Amino acid sequence: MIIGSGQGGVPLAADYAKEGRKVVVFERDALGGSCINYGCTPSKAFLAAAHGAGRARQTEKLGIHTQVNVDFPAVMERVRGIRDRFNQGVHKRLESAGVRVICAEASFVDERTVKGGDVTIQAPLVVINTGTSSLVPDLPGLAGTPYLTNRNFFDLKTLPSRLLVLGAGYIGLELGQGLARLGSETHLIVRGDRVLGQEESDVSETLAEAFKQDGIQLHFGVNAERVAYENNVFTLSLSNGDQLQGDALLVVIGRKPNTGALNVAASGIELDDKGFIKIDDQFHTTCSGVYAIGDAAKQPAFTHVSWEDYRRLKAILKGEQRNRHDRVLGYAVYTEPQVGRVGMTLEQAQKKGMNARSVVLPMSQIARAIEWGHELGFYRMVIDTDTDKILGATLVGYETAELVHVFLSLMEAGATWQLLEQSVHIHPTYGEALPSLARLLVED
């Protein structure tokens, strides 16, 4: 029995059904989880259009003068079409594998016994894959207004002329910059002193500069105190006394686990103080036979992590030696410039007591970046000076979500920085700068 049809639950269900097991999936919403329905798939289809428009405008510095006309309804119709096609693919995959799908909200009624709708099922193996959803603040005046989250953002049919974004994490930055590049006057309300506050400060500074170039207005060090909605206009009152008005309000302050309706106590499953499912290193909950994967179990909230959780758990159940931490973690932020991250930052490594150091190469010193006009950003690599192994990398620049895989593979193989330094990458490419980055260690 699998509760939730996210990117870990679906392949697990399909695999077990094809092996001849009786498999049931409970899903209260759309099949495919957040990635397909209101996460990766629609957001990246949306950003394809947004960044296409942004890049076209930026060709002025290359001597190309363009006029960009955005057909917003067509943009969003394409986004929804791709989303729906992917969703149907999940339907077909489960159906062809012989998985029984119960479209109902599931809750435990006894040990490893779940009820959904008028169906009650007990199973020896239960996997929880319910994911997370938008965290909505208890902000006076917000309830009952047509505010946006990533859940309903992709249902937009008209371009808001003015957009207010509450939150400065990766979802707010991607969608906020996206609407700005498609023509919205965009304001980012940032509680702290920088965007993307969990990353290194120069990452935040680079993105802030890019956003200013896109005409986005950044409001730092303020809290939203109340919301008013009248005549289709949002008025947001800030802690510094300012008021901002917008035709749309996007609330993206964080995520919460989808565990509230599960009644997990009926099966002896414990939650932490924030509602995430407690698991050990082998994804086992506090109830025998019940496992949890993905971000509902506080794993890093990325599709590729949830999918690898499925592979990990399947291997564990076959008796193999895997655990929830046994792969190098990489991720990306799909702003422009992109942020590609893998492993540890210098600060994280030093806090662990490692003898670490880093080297940095600005994009403005990379031939391809100069030639193409993509000079905003940098490449950074962190190494262990005791072993020469690569500990992490931060890449901020054009399509760095692709380039960061070079580091991810080297780190998975346990390689040293000398292997990268000895590599001869093709000229002129962005990837050519990676060995150049490593050669800074030789020069020192």
**Is 171 marked within a binding site?**
yes
Do 262 and 241 touch, CB atoms closer than 8 A?
Answer: no
The single-letter DSSP state of residue 61 is: G
Residue 42, classed as helix, strand or coil, is helix
Contact residues for 288 (Cβ-Cβ < 8 A; gap 6+): none
Structure tokens at 194: 């920088």
**Is 375 marked within a binding site?**
no
Burial of 105 (0-12, 13-18, 19+ CB in 10 A): middle
Contact residues for 334 (Cβ-Cβ < 8 A; gap 6+): 43, 44, 47, 170, 174, 401
**Is 189 marked within a binding site?**
no
**Is 44 marked within a binding site?**
yes
**Is 295 marked within a binding site?**
yes
Sheet containing strand 119-122, edge to edge, reads: 106-110, 113-116, 119-122
**Is 33 marked within a binding site?**
no
Q: Is 425 a catalytic residue?
A: no
**Is 392 marked within a binding site?**
no
Of 87, 25, 34, 285, nearest to 293 (Cα)? 285
Q: Are strands 106-110 and 113-116 parallel, antiparallel or unpaired?
A: antiparallel
Do 424 and 435 touch, CB atoms closer than 8 A?
Answer: yes
Instruction: Compute the radius of gyration of the chain from its Cα atoms.
Output: 23
Residue 387, classed as helix, strand or coil, is coil
Contact residues for 21 (Cβ-Cβ < 8 A; gap 6+): none
**Is 169 marked within a binding site?**
yes
Q: Annotated catalytic residue: which of 51, 91, 219, 427?
A: 427
Of 2, 7, 3, 1, nearest to 90 (Cα)? 7
Do 368 and 428 touch, CB atoms closer than 8 A?
Answer: yes
Do 326 and 161 touch, CB atoms closer than 8 A?
Answer: no
**Is 173 marked within a binding site?**
yes
Residues contributing to the annotated binding site for FAD: 44, 295
Q: What residues are designated binding site for NAD(+)?
A: 167-174, 254
Q: State the catalytic residues.
A: 427
Feature table: binding site: 44, 167-174, 254, 295
